[in-house]
Structures are given as C-alpha cells and as structure tokens.
Amino acid sequence: MRLEKYRKDFPILKIKINGKRLVYLDSAATSQKPKQVIEAITDYYQNYNANIHRSIHSLGEEATKAYEEARETVAKFINAEKPEEVIFVRNTTEALNVAAFGLRKIVSTGKILLSEMEHHSNLIPWQQLAKINNAKLDFVGFDQDGYLKIEELKQKARNAKVIAITQASNVLGTINPIKEIAEIASDAIIVVDGAQSVPHMPVDVQELDIDILAFSAHKMLGPTGIGVLYAREELLKKMEPFIFGSEMIKEVSFNNASWNDLPYKFEAGTPHIAGAVGFKAAIDYLQKIGMKNIRRHDQEITDYALKKLSKLVNIIGPKKAKDRSGLIAFTMNDVHPHDIAAILNEDGIAIRSGHHCAMPLHTKIGINASARASFYLYNTKQEIDLLVKSLEKVKRVFEK
C-alpha cells in the first residue's frame, strides 16, 4: 500500500481540527471521499445532468448509460450473476427493510434466526416481520471473546426460513464465517449485512452462496444516499416491492397495476443518479488498489493498534487482527466514551462513541456504551501513535 500517495487523493485529510491535523478514525460510520469520486459527481452535474430511463435526448441517454454502468460495476465487484440482481437503494438500512418486506409472504410463519451482534438495521426489520407474520424470532449468541457460537447456530438453524447475519460486526469487529453458515443452513434464505465487510475485503456472493447482501456506498469511499440490495434473480421475482410509483410499473389502470422487470421493479421514482456515478468511481478506485491489499492493510494497522491499545484500554471483541475487521471498540474503566471522544477531538482525532446502533449487544456485554476507532486505507501507524498519546492524556485527566 502506497499510503502517502493515496492520502493525497483525500482533500479532507489536509484540514485541521482545533489547530491540529485531522486524524480520522471513524470510517465505520462513514468513509472519506477521494477527489476522483468528488470529481465524478461534479462532472455529472456540470456536463450531463438529466433524468434517466425517460428521455431520448442526449443528456438523458448519457445519464442513463452512466447509471446502468454503475450497476454493472457493482455486479462485477460482488460477482453477481447478472446486473439485474443489483437494486439501488438509499443505504444498507433501506436494503434490509426492502428485503424483510419483500419476503413477508415467502417467510409467512416460521423461524427467523439472527445473531446477538446485529446492528439495529439487521434486527428491527426482522423483529417487525416476525410480529406481522407471527413468526418465531431466535438468536445465536457469541462467546466472551466475541466469536459467534457456531455449534449453537447449527442447532438453531434447523427449520429456519431466514438467517440474517452481519459479515463483520460494527462493535466486536468479528468477521463471521458466512460461507460455513450458508453450508450449515442450505435450506434457509441467507441474508448478509455487508455494511462493514464489503468496503474492506473481497466479497463474492456466488462463492459465499448467499441469497441476499446489503451494503452502502458511503462506507466505501462513495457518496451518501445510495446503497445496494443484491438478491438472487429467482428470489427477487418472488419478492414484493417496498415502494410504489413511477418507473417500477409495467402497466397501470385506475384500479390495478403490474410491476416492471428487474431491477426496476424495486426502483420507484427518480433515483440518486449522481450517487450511482460516484459509487462507480469509488469502486474503480478500490479495485485499482485491490481489495486483497486493502484487507491486508486493515489487518496490519488493526494488529498494530491492538498491541498499542491493549495495555491502555479494555478491548471489546477478538484479540486477533486476522479475525476482525478494521475497527476496535473499547472502554476505559469508569471514563464515559463521550468524554473520551471529546478529549480526543481536542487533539484533532475523530472517533465514535455511544452504542453504535447495537444497543442489545452492549446490554449483553454489560455496558451502556463504548468508544470506537475504525480504520481504512488512508490511515497510518503514526495516526495510531497519536491516538495512543491522546488516550494517555484521557487517562491522566481522569486519574486526578
């Protein structure tokens, strides 16, 4: 990884916070954007801004071409069998809601199995579906080191109609064995929350043998407001659309309507065209570096951070970098995570504090909140050293 070369592509990394150069360690919340993505979005608005799939004029045709090229790029990136299996939505949350709503008739009564480490976005939609359908909602736990209890999953996966699980926990950092889970529960619909995995490692939906995958552009160098719902074609054909209106229809009368072909059946109204353009630019940037290289960098910097932080804070989740994504959630005895984040901000260091939209997980491990430092391709070991130095200041302040 030619870190200094890549860092120059991110204009925001040059700014100062409280007179100190920004150290951005909050990429699990949203990543920063390289100039290539910013320029692609600007180029769209300046040179071929138009609505898509509606006009035969030149701007409309160019915008439509760019939008569909973005879909093709996403499909290749995750190795979907065809572009029609890629649905553009606003974000991972919307993708998971569309999935849960679309499966409501397919699932009917039955078991929906989740893990206890899920983000609210991969908990509440299934929770509500279970209530509507009078289905059984069950959970697989994790051990004291943050690893999913696979033997428990094997028992509970029996007769499960849906298994919805994160590939990488946004708190524990744990990378779950999705392919193994898909093999264990081959009769269930496997839904994967890829918000924290797709930006950081190679994800091949065919190799994993999963049915549904959800992820967002803004966590992988792209713009906010656009994400992806991937689902197998045969499943998408059975699922009901979540949003109704223009472009998602084939025929409409005053009393009835029929749905458009895939993927447009799930894309009602004017989409985030500029977002799709920026998304493609982000994927092009990531692929130029190589997802294996990004994963390798994540492991190296996480391993370095784990060693540096282990004597200073209480680390949550696996202690081995190879088993976790590029983030570390932690506590410092009686110091509130918000106080930690506030003092770090004085030194220009941006981290996250709170329950990270995973309240049940925090309750399970007996804490109300945690601090979280998360890394990406533009972070350096020197920035980890600055984090450690600032955390030592936190410790001194609260030891007085």
What's the pLDDT band for 400 if we cut at 50, 70, 90? low
Q: Is residue 331 part of a domain?
A: yes
Looking at the fold, whether 209 and 331 belong to one and the same domain comes out as no
Looking at the fold, whether 270 and 212 belong to one and the same domain comes out as yes
Q: What letter does residue 15 receive in the DSSP assignment?
A: -
8 A C-beta contact, residue 158 and residue 167: no
Contacts of 141 (CB under 8 A, 6+ apart): 115, 116, 148, 149, 152, 364
Mean pLDDT, rounded, for 313-322: 97
pLDDT, tens digit, for every residue of 280-309? 999 999 999 999 999 999 999 999 999 999
Looking at the fold, whether 186 and 333 belong to one and the same domain comes out as no
pLDDT, tens digit, for every residue of 190-226? 999 999 999 999 999 999 999 999 999 999 999 999 9
Q: Is residue 191 part of a domain?
A: yes
What's the pLDDT band for 1 if we cut at 50, 70, 90? low
Looking at the fold, whether 311 and 181 belong to one and the same domain comes out as no
Active-site residues, by number, are: 357
8 A C-beta contact, residue 188 and residue 212: no
Q: Is residue 33 part of a domain?
A: no
Res 99: pLDDT: 98
Q: Is residue 65 part of a domain?
A: yes
Q: Residue 178 pLDDT > 70, yes or no?
A: yes
Q: What is the CA 194 to chain-centroid distance, rounded?
A: 5
Looking at the fold, whether 142 and 257 belong to one and the same domain comes out as yes
Single out the residue of 102, 56, 45 nearest to residue 277, CA to CA: 45
CATH code assigned at 331: 3.90.1150.10
pLDDT, tens digit, for every residue of 29-51? 999 999 999 999 999 999 999 99
Looking at the fold, whether 283 and 230 belong to one and the same domain comes out as yes
CATH code assigned at 127: 3.40.640.10
Q: Which domain holds residue 323?
A: 3-26+291-399
Q: Is residue 15 part of a domain?
A: yes
Exposure on the CB side of residue 237, measured as CA atoms within 13 A: 4
Looking at the fold, whether 303 and 392 belong to one and the same domain comes out as yes
Number of H helices, E strands in the chain: 15, 17
User: Which of 25-34, 107-116, 130-139 shows the highest mean pLDDT?
Assistant: 25-34
Looking at the fold, whether 341 and 197 belong to one and the same domain comes out as no
Res 55: pLDDT: 86
Mean pLDDT, rounded, for 349-354: 98
Q: What is the rounded average pLDDT for all residues in the chain? A: 97
Q: Is residue 31 part of a domain?
A: no
Res 108: pLDDT: 81
Looking at the fold, whether 392 and 333 belong to one and the same domain comes out as yes
Looking at the fold, whether 144 and 183 belong to one and the same domain comes out as yes
- Distance CA(17)–CA(345), nearest Å, equals 8
Q: Which residue has the higher pLDDT, 316 or 242?
A: 316
